[in-house]
Chains A and B, each alone.
Chain A
Amino acid sequence: IAGITQAPTSQILAAGRRMTLRCTQDMRHNAMYWYRQDLGLGLRLIHYSNTAGTTGKGEVPDGYSVSRANTDDFPLTLASAVPSQTSVYFCASSAGENTGELFFGEGSRLTVL
């Protein structure tokens, strides 16, 4: 069982470019999340989805968008990347929407130059 798969694992991107981070889960979890992790800070929620077809904004949504067309996939798009979006991005899922145990992908390290 793969759990959660993220792609790419690492990417260097020029400022102003568009980028989509992919996330796929095979656990049939309803809820999915995108976090960013920066040195010295806790994980910060960017966007979430409690079920297919619905999405919501987290703590730091500006500059990011998501979609949830089906249960398994939850891509994160940076429409026009900026250097402050340099971070490690984690996709996560949970069985229920009220924040049960989270299962994380391996992360995507993004550098915006």
Chain B
Amino acid sequence: QSALTQPASVSGSPGQSITISCTGTSSDVGGYNYVSWHQQHPGKAPKLMIYDVSNRPSGVSNRFSGSKSGNTASLTISGLQAEDEADYYCSSYTTSSTVVFGGGTKLTVL
């Protein structure tokens, strides 16, 4: 299975909004509404930020939102804050009943 495609890096200034894309195929992202987004700070375990394309777990800021169009899912962070600087990974369920991750995106808050 091939990894989902994410931009290697994105950046934004405090208060701005950024969007991270996650492109797959009809066998994963496009085929199911089971896309998740995970935030990982250096040296820490990942944390689930969005599941099932657009749902936020309890405790996750509403500045984080998710969407999907066709084979591409997106994570948007609004009102960017310094604490949002981290690596972000998308993941998707696949037609093989497996899970595939994206390569990860490093978010820099300028």
Report if A and B associate in a common complex.
no
* B interface residues, Cβ below 8 angstroms from A: none
